[in-house]
Amino acid sequence: MHRRILLFIGRRRNWSIPYVLYLSFFVLVPLLLVVLYAFTSETGGFSLENFRKFLMHPEAMNILIYSIGVAMITTLLCLLLGYPAAYLLSRMETRKARLLVILFILPMWINFLIRTLATVALFGFLRLPLGEGALMFGMVYNFLPFMIYPIYNSLQKTDPNLIEAAQDLGANPRQVFFRTILPLSFPGIASGIIMVFMPVISTFAIAELLTINNIKLFGTTLQENIYNGMWNFGAALALVMLLLVGLTSLLNSGGSVKAAEEGGLI
Partner 1 sequence: MKLNTDNHIITIEHLSHAFGGKTVLEDINLTIRKGEFVTILGPSGCGKTTLIRLIAGFLKASEGKISIAGEDMTQTPPHLRPVNTVFQKYALFPHLNVFNNIAFGLQLKKLPQDEIKKKVMQVLKIVTMTDYEERDVDTLSGGQQQRVAIARAIVNEPKVLLLDEPLAALDLKMRKDMQLEIKAMQKKLGISFLYVTHDQEEALTLSDTIVVMSEGVIQQTGTPTEIYNEPSNSFVADFIGESNILNGIMIRDNLVEFAGHQVECVDKGFEPNEPVDVVLRPEDIYIFEMSDAAQFSGLVTSSIFKGVHYEMMVTTPEGYEIIIQDYHCFEAGRTVGLRIKPFDIHVMKKERHCNAFEGSIWDSSHVRFLGHNFKCNDDHGFAAGTKVKVQVDFNNVILQDNEEDGMLGGVVSFILYKGNHYHLTVLTPENEHLFVDSHDIWDDGDQIGISISPESIRIEKL
User: By the criterion CB under 8 A, which residues form the site for partner 1?
Assistant: 159, 161-162, 164-172, 175-176, 179-180, 183-184, 186
Q: How many CB atoms lie within 10 A of CB 112?
A: 17
Q: How many CB atoms lie within 10 A of CB 14?
A: 11
Which CB sits closer to partner 1, 119 or 154?
Answer: 154
Closest C-alpha to 193, from 252, 112, 108: 252
Nearest approach, Cβ of residue 96 and partner 1 (Å): 18
> CB within 8 A of 120, min separation 6: which ones?
130, 134, 209, 210
Nearest approach, Cβ of residue 191 and partner 1 (Å): 16
Nearest approach, Cβ of residue 180 and partner 1 (Å): 6
Instruction: Report the Cα–Cα distance between both ends of the chain, in Å, rounded.
Output: 41
Nearest approach, Cβ of residue 169 and partner 1 (Å): 4
Which CB sits closer to partner 1, 43 or 172?
Answer: 172
| CA distances for 245 relative to 26, 79, 96, 233, 250, angstroms | 19, 18, 36, 19, 9
Which CB sits closer to partner 1, 59 or 168?
Answer: 168
Which CB sits closer to partner 1, 176 or 217?
Answer: 176
